[in-house]
């Protein structure tokens, strides 16, 4: 009789599980089901092939805020939000209350002590130094000349080749190479640093869905996805050491040729190597590890942001021919003829063009993803 009683309980329990998790409808069919022990992870893993669109759909039906429940004891519970009020609260109003913390720093360990992993005083000093650099006349002059040279000598020949060949081109890949300062060639081969950055970003995503003890063990042994991170870090070290050595040689040579006078233009690495340490308590531009972390942080910040913005920008232009006409008119009116140099004062006159770029950012890069999803027909000049 006791055995029969236990059997009845066992059957009743499994019938409940069947009806609760397989028959009973979820609050909304798009939302991942919260399974016992496993949480919502199985449903999310099944959507990895379209994870960005899936997150947009989830936020759309959950009032821009969604509580994700990870597997039991995994530490993966998180709140996903695109509510402007929440973003304002975290990013601006109470930013000092939301440190990234040690766990974040461990997951993104390949970035070292860069601005992405920094907190408190270190973050403030790195942000302050970055703003000084970006607003500096010599850095802006260098950036303008460099990007002009890259467009003329690299981007335009590649685009002309694919147009003449009438073949499909991955525009985002091209813009990533341009933003990464990688030489654009017709064979579109990938350089070591770019591949390392892609692999590191991929591993970081996987780390978010694995218990930390597991991925740390894999990293220590050198197996699985963590093997990619080990190789990526080795590639970062090689590439960054090469950049730093070459820049020091260039600066020393330029110093002697100019009799110690200050150069007219200044790039990112030169700026941090010449950083006035008396203005900052923590930053140490003499430390090669600090310079490597600076290189990786700015590479990560600039590559995808620039490439994605430009890709969406040109897609919007292809959907809005009237915007193309207005931008061309503005170019013909305000920019110098071929053969003449371009300066920042002339670029500041490109008001419509600037507005179109900002609209691309608003719709697809730094805005509510739900708004981006339903705004495919919006004019980039709206």
pLDDT digits (tens, 9 = 90+) for 144-164: 888 888 888 888 888 888 889
Q: Provide the pLDDT confidence category of residue 261 given band limits of 50, 70 and 90.
A: low
Same domain, 149 and 288: yes
The whole-angstrom separation of Cα 32 and Cα 41 is 8
| 1 part of a folded domain | no
| 345 and 295 housed in the same domain | no
- Most confident of the ranges 172-176, 227-231, 306-310, 357-361: 227-231
pLDDT at 189: 62
> Do 201 and 326 lie in a common domain?
no
Q: Which residues of 283-296 are buried (b: 16+ CB within 10 A; e: fewer)?
A: bebeeeebbbbbbb
Q: What's this model's pTM, rounded to 2 decimal places?
A: 0.73
* Cα–Cα dist 27/185, whole Å: 51
Token pair 């233009």 is found at: 265
Q: CA-to-CA distance for 197 and 208, rounded, in angstroms?
A: 17
The residues, ordered by sequence, that sit 6+ positions from 255 with a Cβ below 8 Å of its Cβ are none
Q: Is residue 246 part of a domain?
A: yes
Distance CA 294, CA 112 (A): 9
Q: Compute φ and ψ for 35, nearest 5 degrees.
A: -80, 155
Residue, of 83 and 26, whose pLDDT is higher: 83
User: Which token pair is 355?
Assistant: 């507005």
DSSP letter at 35 equals B
Return phi, psi of residue 67, to 5°: -95, 110
CB within 8 Å of 263: residues ≥ 6 apart: 138, 254, 270
The residues facing 35 across adjacent strands are 39
List Cα–Cα distances, 189 to 183, 185, 198, 279, in angstroms: 10, 7, 14, 42
Residue 343 falls inside a structural domain: yes
Residue range(s) defining the domain that contains residue 189: 124-300
Q: Does residue 20 lie within any of the structural domains?
A: no
Same domain for 76 and 152: no
pLDDT of 359 strictly over 60: yes
Q: Is residue 110 part of a domain?
A: no
pLDDT at 351: 93
Q: Helix 137-150 to helix 120-135 angle, to the nearest 10 degrees? A: 70
Residues 294 and 238 in one domain: yes
290 and 352 fall within a common domain: no
CB of 143 closer than 8 Å to CB of 265: no
Q: 349 and 290, same structural domain?
A: no
274 lies in the same domain as 324: no
Q: Both tokens of residue 231?
A: 């190789």
Q: Looking at the structure, do residues 208 and 145 belong to the same domain, yes or no?
A: yes
Neighbours of 73 (CB within 10 A): 8
Mean pLDDT along residues 50-69: 88
Are 343 and 273 in the same domain?
Answer: no
| DSSP designation for 366 | S
- Give percent of the chain above pLDDT 90: 18
354 pLDDT more than 90: yes
Cβ-based neighbour number of residue 23 at 10 Å: 7
Question: Does residue 116 fall inside a structural domain?
Answer: no
pLDDT at 307 over 70: yes
> Which residue, 237, 267, 300, sits at the end of a domain?
300
Number of domains comprising the chain = 3
CB 65 within 8 A of CB 80: yes
Q: Identify which has the larger pLDDT, 113 or 285.
A: 113
Do 278 and 148 have their domain in common? yes
Q: Is the same domain home to 266 and 376?
A: no
- CB burial readout 146-178, b (16+ within 10 A) else e: ebeebeeebbeebeeebeeeeeeeebbebbbbb
Residue 115 domain flag: no
- 336, part of any domain: yes
Give the pLDDT mean for 196-207.
89
């Amino acid at each position: 009789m006791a055995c029969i009683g236990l059997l009845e309980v066992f059957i009743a329990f499994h019938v409940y599980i069947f009806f609760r998790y397989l028959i009973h409808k979820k609050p909304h069919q798009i939302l991942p089901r919260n399974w016992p022990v496993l949480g919502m992870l199985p449903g999310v893993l099944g959507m990895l092939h379209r994870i960005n669109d899936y997150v947009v759909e989830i936020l759309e039906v959950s009032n821009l805020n969604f509580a994700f429940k990870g597997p039991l004891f995994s530490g993966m519970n998180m709140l996903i939000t695109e509510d402007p009020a929440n973003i304002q609260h975290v990013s601006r109003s109470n930013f000092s209350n939301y440190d990234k913390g040690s766990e974040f720093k461990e997951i993104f360990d390949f970035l070292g002590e860069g601005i992405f992993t920094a907190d408190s005083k270190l973050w403030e000093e790195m942000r302050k130094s970055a703003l000084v650099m970006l607003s500096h006349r010599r850095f802006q002059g260098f950036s303008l000349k460099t990007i002009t040279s890259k467009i003329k000598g690299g981007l335009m020949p590649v685009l002309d080749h694919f147009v003449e060949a009438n073949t499909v081109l991955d525009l985002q890949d091209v813009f990533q190479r341009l933003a990464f300062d990688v030489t654009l060639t017709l064979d579109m081969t990938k350089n070591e640093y770019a591949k390392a950055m892609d692999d590191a970003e991929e591993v970081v995503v996987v780390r978010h869905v694995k218990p930390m003890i597991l991925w740390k063990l894999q990293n220590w042994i050198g197996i699985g996805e963590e093997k990619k991170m080990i190789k990526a870090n080795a590639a970062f070290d090689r590439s960054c050491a090469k950049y730093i050595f070459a820049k020091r040689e260039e600066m020393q040579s330029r110093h002697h040729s100019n009799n110690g006078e200050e150069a007219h233009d200044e790039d990112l690495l030169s700026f941090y190597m010449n950083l006035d340490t008396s203005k900052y308590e923590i930053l140490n531009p003499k430390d090669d590890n600090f310079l490597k972390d600076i290189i990786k942080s700015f590479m990560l910040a600039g590559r995808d942001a620039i490439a994605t913005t430009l890709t969406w920008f040109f897609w919007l232009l292809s959907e809005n021919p009237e915007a193309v006409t207005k931008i061309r008119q503005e170019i013909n009116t305000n920019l110098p003829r071929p053969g003449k140099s371009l300066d920042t004062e002339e670029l500041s006159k490109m008001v419509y063009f600037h507005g179109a770029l900002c609209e691309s950012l608003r719709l697809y890069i730094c805005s509510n993803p739900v708004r981006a999803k339903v705004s495919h027909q919006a004019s980039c000049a709206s």
